[in-house]
């Protein structure tokens, strides 16, 4: 395996993009990433795209060939592959691209992610997303995604004393970070009282505990590290790429308040990078619901089990704290176009490590981490990036 | 492989009350969903038919036979197991 670097990045504005189709979003982000890397179409060896449910959201499958076509690459006949791992599809596309370059099989590879979610009603979107859970053993009995995370939250609160206000603080922090991010879906600051008085979705989770329905796309360009400086002044090295799986159904897990897929992916990633959680300056983690970020910062090893809520309340995960978590605004405020999220996380970390994150820049950020979860924890991906 | 029939009684490990559901379940809102540990050991997910206020972690439940869904007005009706509170269940 040879070292791999990111030489270019692009990301669309996230939100209700009624002016853009799925293919428009991919073209917008693809052009941005290719221009940023300064590569030509002929140099590209392969494309990987994360997309959870084009079939349900816009009745379009075969997204691999579609994005190559609309990126103007169809005449070059470059292999283009769609990968799917529910909300971790983007992270998985990044890993597949990384493996293609690291193995020596390809040199310049693009990892993209896209989801166009606002063309359907919220009920249809909820059912499409519920397909990431166990259809026969969870959804058939009435489970929704917020419901699964709500059951995790209730048990976490019972076992560890995590409070309703601590959960709310995750959303408050991520909206604060997101309001400094030009591509974020929401630029509004919110207060703890706003979260705990918003309408119930699945008790104890409320509307402002949940990430929104979002349109968006992101792309990164990968190259072997030994030639990366030909394309880019500040290539960002991928020190580790790790993936782990667990039972699809939440009720079959060893422990309902721990995402073991995160624990295993993180252990593998830190071993590959020869680093510890304390070495991470900035992290993008999977806060599809506020409890998701609490689980993530515990299961990645930033804080001991059960202390994620307290650490958040004390500001230890804000910009300027022990580890800046979700400087983009996270899934909560930046938005969560499910297939694009894992790539947007890498985009944000690359900006932070290049020192190009504007008002939300983490001072002297050298090492960053991305953490992308599929479903309620059936898949987890962890990547560690370094300047 | 040997077929085994569970008694169906169990204990609520954790639960939620759903106020916003997918289209198939919207007519039931608010409804309770729980992870239940059956007395024989395995865990599963199911609805608990009682008021949201009476839900508690650790509560005992028993199985009840109910309609789980319908494919439209004239379509197939799905039947299956929900749960009901059973403080007196052995």
Catalytically annotated residue among A175, A177, A336, A371: A336
Q: What's the total number of domains in chain A?
A: 2
Residues A41 and A92 in one domain: yes
In a domain, A134, yes or no: no
Same-domain status, A47 and A103 = yes
CB A86 within 8 A of CB A374: yes
Answer whether residue A116 is part of any domain.
Answer: yes
Of B71 and A153, more confident: A153
Report the residue of B14, B27, B54 to disrupt the A interface, i.e. the one with the largest count of A CBs within 10 Å: B14
In a domain? residue A349: yes
The confidence score (pLDDT) of residue B90 equals 53
Shortest alpha-carbon distance between residue A254 and chain B (Å): 11
Q: Cβ separation of B80 and A127 shorter than 8 Å?
A: no
Q: Read off the DSSP letter of residue A51.
A: -
Residue recorded with tokens 């002929």: A42
Residue A105, number of CB atoms within 10 A of its CB:
11
Residues in B closer than 8 angstroms to A256, CB to CB, are 13-14, 35
Domain-located, residue A300: yes
How distant, in Å, are the alpha carbons of A4, A228, A322 from that of A225? Answer: 5, 5, 29
Spatial CB neighbours of A197, under 8 Å, sequence gap ≥ 6: none
A183/A318 same-domain check: yes
Q: In this structure, are A176 and A228 located in the same domain?
A: no
B43 CA: distance to closest CA in chain A (Å): 6
Q: How far is A86 from chain B (nearest CA, A)?
A: 18
Quick one: B69 exposed, middle or buried, by C-beta within 10 A (0-12, 13-18, 19+)?
A: middle
pLDDT along chain A (387 residues), means of 10: 97 97 95 95 96 96 95 93 98 98 98 97 91 96 96 98 98 98 98 98 98 98 97 96 98 98 98 98 98 98 98 98 98 98 98 98 98 98 97
Nearest one of A340, A246, A338 to A299, comparing CA atoms: A246
How far is residue A340's CA from residue A113's CA, in Å, rounded to a whole number? 4
Other Cβ atoms less than 10 A from the Cβ of A233: the count is 7
**Contact assignment for A141 to B35 by CB distance below 8 Å:** no
A245 with A377, same domain? Answer: yes
Residue A93 lies in a domain: yes
Q: What is the helix (H) or strand (E) element at residue A352, kind and residue range?
A: helix A338-354
Q: Do A155 and B13 touch (CB under 8 A)?
A: yes
pLDDT at A107 (0 to 100): 98
Within-domain flag for A133: no
Task: Give the Cα separation of A87 and A259 in Å (integer).
Answer: 15
- A243 and A226 within one domain: no
Q: Please enumerate in sequence order all residues whose Cβ is within 8 A of that of B85, keeping only pairs 6 or more positions apart, or say none.
A: B48, B50, B54, B59, B60, B61
DSSP track, B2-29: --------EEEEEEEEESS--GGGGGG-
Quick check: B19 and A199 CB within 8 A? yes
- CB atoms B47 and A126 under 8 Å: no
- Chain B residues whose CB is inside 8 A of the A138 CB are 45
Say if residue A348 is in the same domain as residue A256. yes
Find which of A130, A141, A205, A248 to mutate to test the B interface (most B CBs within 10 Å of its CB): A141
What pairs with residue B7 in β-bridges?
Answer: none
Q: Under an 8 Å CB criterion, which residues of B touch A?
A: 13-26, 28, 31, 33-35, 43-47, 52, 57, 68-69, 78, 80, 82
Query: Scanning the structure block, which residue is given the tokens 């590209």?
Result: A44
Whether residue A194 sits in one domain with residue A110: no
Domain that holds residue A265: 142-209+239-386
Residues of A with Cβ-Cβ distance to B82 under 8 angstroms: 141
Q: A137 in a domain, yes or no?
A: no
From chain A, the residues in CB contact with B14 under 8 A are: 151-152, 154-155, 158, 256
B69 or A103: which leads in pLDDT:
A103
Residue in chain B lying closest to A255 (CA): B13
Q: Tell me, rounded to whole angstroms, the distance of Cα B9 from its chain centroid.
A: 11
Of all residues in chain A, what percent are helix, strand and coil, respectively (each to 5)? Answer: 40, 20, 40
Residue A115 to residue A337: CA distance in whole angstroms: 5
Cα–Cα distance measured from residue B1 to residue A58, given in angstroms and rounded to the nearest whole number: 43
CA distance B10 to chain A (A): 14
Q: Contacts of residue B69 in chain A, CB cutoff 8 Å?
A: 140
pLDDT for B88 equals 62
H-helix or E-strand containing A315? none
Same domain, A64 and A43: yes
- Are A109 and A257 found together in one domain? no
Write down the catalytic residue from A11, A87, A210, A334. A87
Sign of CA dihedral A175, A179, A184, A190: positive
d(CA A101, CA A4): 7
* Inside any domain, residue A295: yes
When CB atoms are compared, the residue of A130, A154, A252 closest to B22 is: A130
Active site residue A87: yes
CA nearest B53 in A: which residue? A203
Tell me if residue A336 is catalytic: yes
Residues A224 and A346 in one domain: no
Please report residues of B whose CB lies closer than 8 A to that of A375. Answer: none
Query: Can you list the domains of chain B with their CATH numbers?
Result: 10-85 (2.40.50)
Closest to A52 measured CA to CA, from A382, A289, A337, A348: A337
Average pLDDT over residues B38-57: 97
Q: Which residues of A132-145 are buried (b: 16+ CB within 10 A; e: fewer)?
A: bbbeebbbbbbbbb
Question: Measured between CA atoms, how close is B35 to chain A, in angstroms?
Answer: 6
pLDDT band for position B89 (50/70/90)? low
A30 three-state secondary structure: helix
Cβ-contact A228, A220 below 8 angstroms: no
Q: What is the CATH number of the domain that holds A283?
A: 3.40.47.10
Res A111: pLDDT: 98
Q: Are residues A301 and A373 in the same domain?
A: yes
């Amino acid at each position: 395996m040879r070292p791999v670097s990111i030489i270019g990045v692009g990301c669309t504005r996230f939100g209700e993009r009624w002016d853009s189709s799925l293919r428009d979003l991919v073209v917008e982000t693809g052009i941005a990433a290719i221009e940023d890397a300064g590569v030509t179409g002929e140099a590209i060896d392969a494309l990987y795209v994360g997309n959870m449910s084009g079939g349900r959201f816009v009745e379009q499958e075969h997204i691999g060939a579609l994005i190559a076509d609309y990126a103007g690459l169809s005449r070059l006949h470059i292999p283009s592959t769609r990968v799917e791992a529910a909300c971790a599809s983007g992270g998985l596309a990044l890993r597949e691209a990384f493996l293609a370059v690291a193995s020596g099989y390809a040199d310049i590879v693009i990892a993209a992610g896209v989801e166009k979610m606002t063309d359907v009603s919220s009920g249809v979107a909820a059912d499409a997303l519920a397909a990431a859970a166990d259809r026969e053993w969870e959804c058939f009995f009435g489970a929704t995604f917020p419901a699964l995370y709500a059951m995790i939250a209730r048990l976490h609160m019972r076992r560890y004393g995590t409070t309703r206000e601590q959960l709310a603080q995750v959303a408050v922090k991520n909206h604060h970070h997101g309001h400094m991010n030009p591509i974020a879906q929401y630029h509004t600051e919110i207060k703890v009282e706003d979260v705990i008085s918003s309408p119930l979705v699945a008790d104890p989770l409320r509307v402002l505990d949940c990430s929104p329905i979002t349109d968006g796309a992101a792309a990164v360009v990968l190259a072997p590290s030994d030639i990366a400086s030909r394309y880019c002044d500040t290539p960002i090295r991928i020190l580790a790429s790790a993936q782990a799986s667990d039972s699809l159904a939440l009720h079959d897990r060893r422990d309902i308040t721990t995402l073991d897929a995160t624990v295993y992916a993180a252990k593998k990633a830190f071993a590959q990078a020869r680093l510890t959680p304390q070495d991470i300056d900035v992290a993008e983690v999977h806060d599809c619901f506020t409890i998701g970020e609490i689980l993530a910062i515990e299961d990645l090893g930033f804080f001991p089990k059960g202390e994620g809520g307290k650490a958040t309340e004390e500001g230890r995960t804000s910009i300027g704290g022990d580890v800046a978590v979700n400087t983009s605004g996270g899934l909560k405020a930046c938005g969560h176009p499910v297939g694009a999220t894992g790539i947007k996380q890498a985009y944000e970390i690359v900006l932070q490590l290049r020192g190009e994150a504007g008002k939300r820049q983490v001072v002297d950020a050298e090492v960053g981490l991305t953490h992308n979860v599929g479903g309620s924890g059936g898949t987890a991906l962890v990547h560690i990036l370094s300047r | 492989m040997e077929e085994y029939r569970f008694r169906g009684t169990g204990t609520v490990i954790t639960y939620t009350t759903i106020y916003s559901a997918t289209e198939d379940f919207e007519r039931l809102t608010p409804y309770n969903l729980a992870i239940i540990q059956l007395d024989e050991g395995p865990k599963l997910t199911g609805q608990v038919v009682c008021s949201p206020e009476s839900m508690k972690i650790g509560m005992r439940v028993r199985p009840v036979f109910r309609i789980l869904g319908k494919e439209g007005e004239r379509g197939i009706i799905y039947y299956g197991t929900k749960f009901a509170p059973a403080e007196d269940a052995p």
